[in-house]
Amino acid sequence: RVKSEGGGTYRFYESFMGADVRERRLIEHDLRLAVARSEIEVAYQPQAETGTGRITGFEALLRWRHPERGYVSPSTFIPIAEESGIIMNLGEWVLREACREAASWSQPLSVAVNVSAMQIHAAGFPATLQAALRDTGLSAGRLEIEITETALIRDPARALTTLHAIKELGVRIAMDDFGTGYSSLSNLRAFPFDRIKIDRSFIKSIDKDEQTAAIVRAVLSLGRGLKLLVTAEGVETDAELAFLQAEACHEVQGFLVARPAPIWTFAAVTHGHAASQKATAA
Ligand code: C2E
Ligand code: MG
Ligand code: MG
Ligand code: MG
């Protein structure tokens, strides 16, 4: 009896996994066609100076509007794109799209693009960046790429060479989701980062939880010591912003400033007098 129950449980588990795999294959199939079918768009989220609210740039975030499934979250389709290799094409598409968009602004704001491990480790990634800049006319100093520490661990020596080549171009590099995954302080020293983005899981409770506050203060102090810019991700409340202002965090990003949205909603910033745009505008 015990044995048959065990077998039943196993079969149930197996078919459950089977459904999950089929589901992923369906999404993968549709994702391969999504760009050509114009289902993929780029949303932009402003990044603002903590002290003044001045918007310094935007992060490009992929959005997929599936004809039957509706909105599919990047946390669902990015991992599938990464495992299937689709991220190579998708990543280059969003890079070019973001550079083309930023080059069209009348204000010299920066644009940040997320880059996956497979892209970083591919031969010729710096050349891909260079071609995107050349073809769109965007100056290198206005482009920033965001990578997670996890993206570097596959082959740290190779990643280091690539990041130095990217720096040579004049493109800035941000460490995304800092504090999650394989955070190691030696990565901050070994790799030529310009910026640390503190993961939003730490920002959520900075004004309530003393331990989280202590960690964020320590990261800010680390940033100052290493001469790195620090951005707080996922700032949602005035209390969180007040904490970050008091602790002299350089930049903030989050729903309090603005949610990611089509770029035209920020036309006053991208085409107006950026210096007078305050974070409170959105
Ligand atoms: P990420 O790069 O850390 O981007 C920040 C995520 O936090 C975005 O989620 C953004 O919408 C969300 N966010 C921003 N402010 C707030 C806030 O105040 N509260 C909350 N709760 N969330 C906030 P999104 O757009 O769903 O993207 C999720 C992740 O998918 C990104 O995390 C990034 O890792 C990945 N991703 C998105 N676009 C791309 C892309 O073009 N290429 C690659 N490789 N990954 C991408
Ligand atoms: Mg990011
Ligand atoms: Mg992040
Ligand atoms: Mg993330």
- The span from the CA of 153 to the CA of 46, in Å, is 29
What CA–CA distance (Å, rounded) separates 61 from 6? 44
pLDDT at 44: 98
Q: Rounded to the nearest whole angstrom, what is the distance from the C-alpha of residue 45 to the centroid of ligand 2? A: 10
Judge if the beta carbon of residue 162 lies within 6 A of ligand 1. Answer: no
How far away, in angstroms, is 176 Cα from ligand 4 center?
Answer: 7
Probe target for ligand 1 pocket from 61, 116, 120, with the most ligand atoms within 8 Å of CB: 61
Indicate whether residue 177 lines ligand 1 (CB < 6 A): yes
Read off the pLDDT of residues 31-49 as tens digits, 9 standing for 90 and up.
999 999 999 999 999 999 9
Number of Cβ atoms within 10 Å of the Cβ of 185: 9
Measure 198 CA to ligand 4 centroid, in angstroms: 10
Name residues whose C-beta falls within 8 Å of residue 19's C-beta, 6 or more positions apart in sequence.
none
Near ion ligand 4, which residues have CB within 5 Å? Answer: 177
Does any ligand 1 atom lie closer than 6 A to the CB of residue 255?
Answer: yes
- What pLDDT does residue 255 have? 98
Q: What is the DSSP letter of 155?
A: S
> Which ligand 1 atom is the nearest neighbour of the CA of 236?
18
Question: Atom 37 in ligand 1: which residue has the minimum CA distance?
Answer: 61
pTM greater than the 0.90 cutoff = yes
Q: Name residue 139's amino acid.
A: S
* pLDDT (0 to 100) of residue 141: 98
Residues 6+ apart with CB under 8 A from 195: 144, 172, 173, 174, 175, 228, 229, 230, 231
Q: Which two tokens stand for residue 246?
A: 């008091």
**pLDDT for 205:** 84
122-143 burial by CB neighbour count: b if 16+ within 10 A, else e?
eeebbebbbebbeebebebebb
Q: Which residue's CA lies nearest to atom 25 of ligand 1?
A: 61
pLDDT value at residue 115:
98
Q: For atom 22 of ligand 1, which residue has the closest CA?
A: 234
- Residue 73 near ligand 1, beta carbon < 6 Å: yes
Q: Give residue 30's pLDDT.
A: 96
Residue 199 CA, ligand 3 centroid: distance in Å: 5
Ranges of residues in the chain with a pLDDT under 70 are: 1-19, 183, 274-282
Distances (CA, A) of 240 to 56, 102, 180, 222, 247: 20, 29, 19, 20, 11
- Residue 73 CA: nearest ligand 1 atom is 26
3-state secondary structure of 143: strand
What is the reported pLDDT for 16? Answer: 54
